[in-house]
Structure formats: C-alpha cells, structure tokens
Amino acid sequence: MFLIIAAYFAILTIMAFIMMKVDKHQAQRRGQRIPEKNLWTVAIFGGGIGAYLGMMAFRHKTKHTNFRVGFLMLAMLDAAILIWCYLKFFNGWA
C-alpha cells in the first residue's frame, strides 16, 4: 500500500515540477502560460514537493508570496503524509 501512495505522490511531484519548468519557459518566450489554477490544483492534490522544488530550481513565481508560502506548506504536508504512511506501513499497521 505504501508503494502505491508513494508512486501517486511521485507522479504528481514530477508533473508539478515539469509544469513549473514549462510555465517558466512560456513566460520567458511570452507564450501560452499554464493557468495558476492548474499549478495550484496539482500542488494541492499531492504535487506540493515538485511545485516547490520547481519554483526554486527555475526561479519561477518566487516573487509571489502566496506561491512561496503556499507551495512550501504543501510540500511540508506532502512530506509529512509520506513519512507518516511509511512509518505506519513498516510498523505493521498497514
């Protein structure tokens, strides 16, 4: 069960990271951007770590306090959920 949960978070993390890269690229080229609503949706449903890492790696949306704080909080929440699931799984609970 833990592997399924970890895979889910991994997929959304990678998706959010790529979305931040693509949005930064489109912003530089004045192309069609990824709506902020879509970035937030992926981050809220488990891609917080990827969104935060992508924001930091590509220096994208770092001037927006709501993104800096929000993505950091979601990343911490995702990490806490993964750690909790890992501990419960390997302690025989799951």
Look at residue 90 in the predicted model and tell me its pLDDT: 84
Q: What does the alpha-carbon distance between residue 85 and residue 5 come to, in Å, rounded to a whole number?
A: 8
Look at residue 42 in the predicted model and tell me its pLDDT: 98
| Chain-centre distance for alpha carbon 73 | 10
Helix (H) or strand (E) holding 22: helix 2-29
For residue 40 the two structure tokens come to 């937030």
Give this prediction's pTM: 0.90
Count of helices and strands (H, E) across the chain: 4, 0
Give tens-digit pLDDT for 35-52: 999 999 999 999 999 999
Out of 11-20, 22-31, 34-43, 83-92, least confident range: 83-92
